[in-house]
Amino acid sequence: MGPEPVSSGSAPSQPLRPVIRPRRLRRTAATRRLVAETSLEARQLVLPVFVNEVLDEPRPISSMPGVVQHSRDSLRAAAAEAAQLGLGGIMLFGLPRTKDAAGSAALDPEGVLSVAVRDVVAEVGDALPVMADLCLDEFTDHGHCGVLDAAGGVDNDATLASYVEMARVLADAGVDWVGPSGMMDGQVAAIRDGLDDAGHTDVAIMAYSAKYASAFFGPFREAVDSSLTGDRRTYQQDPANGLEGVREALLDVEEGADVVMVKPALAYLDVLRRVRDAVDVPVAAYNISGEYSMLEAAAAHGWIDREPAILETLTSIRRAGADVVLTYWAAEAARLLAR
């Protein structure tokens, strides 16, 4: 018999054997847990809550299924649960009985937000940091984050004076952290100086440093009974800009911020990563209302598997660099993680 014909590129008789097999480290749940690069824990999650001065019982927010405007009693219960679950903190937003052009209720020691701070501090003590949003938008009848000038624009420096007074009032009420969210130039430095001058050197500042003028804030407007007309593009950041977010974060660190934040989270994970790489303080990200509501709506239609999607969403924010995640799923996620 003659020699066998030389192969002309036909498939080998034996399958190829990869030298490197990454699937070995995915084979079992225990192995995947061992080599996981990113953790998601209850202690990293902060629960934002809304308290309405006029309510005697919780009021559902239609665009945010499962989220409510709290009464004083239901707020205390939510805070106690947050502490029991081991959450990282609770962030308070106040809805006043009345609004005016200056947001005067925000500066009232007996106003809704100061009372909420005292209630929650009394409920949880040192079990978790009690945080409060420091902004005027919930308190102004025009819905903007500061006081207006004669031309109808937000007066940056006049607003800073209000922020300083609001910070002092909240600190007197016992708040652990304030979260200035108005995106006024110089707000962190002004608030830090005001707190220190008033003897509140231990109150931390979590600065909303890279806060974008986002379409995803929509459901939040209902949650806080917003009076806003127009938009906030003259002070919140342009969604097209990433480097600007890093610059804002660096400025806030220079001014004394203890923590910096990127908001929203999911559409700005690239900014979150850049900020995490640029600063040497903890970085927070806010998983905002529109992000929450989109997932809830898809799950309600049966289009996605809700609970795994929640945990995947929060893990993605952690993977991008967030040390702290503010999320309306905080309590539920803590229960899911404890299973």
User: Which positions are annotated as active-site residues?
Assistant: 211, 263
Dist CA 107 CA 238 (whole Å): 30
Pair 160, 186: CB distance under 8 Å: yes
125: left (phi over 0), alpha (psi -120 to 50) or beta: left
Cα of first residue to Cα of last residue in the chain, in angstroms, is 70
Dist CA 294 CA 296 (whole Å): 5
- Cis, bond preceding 60 (omega within 30 deg of 0): no
Helix axes of 306-319 and 330-337: crossing angle, nearest 10 degrees:
100
What DSSP designation does 154 have? B
Helix axes of 112-124 and 72-85: crossing angle, nearest 10 degrees:
40
In degrees, rounded to 5, the angle at the alpha carbon of residue 88 between the alpha carbons of residues 181 and 106 is 35
Tokens of 105: 């209720």
Pair 116, 51: CB distance under 8 Å: yes
- Secondary element (H or E) of residue 204: strand 204-211
Q: How many angstroms separate the Cα of 112 from the Cα of each of 82, 99, 290? A: 20, 12, 25
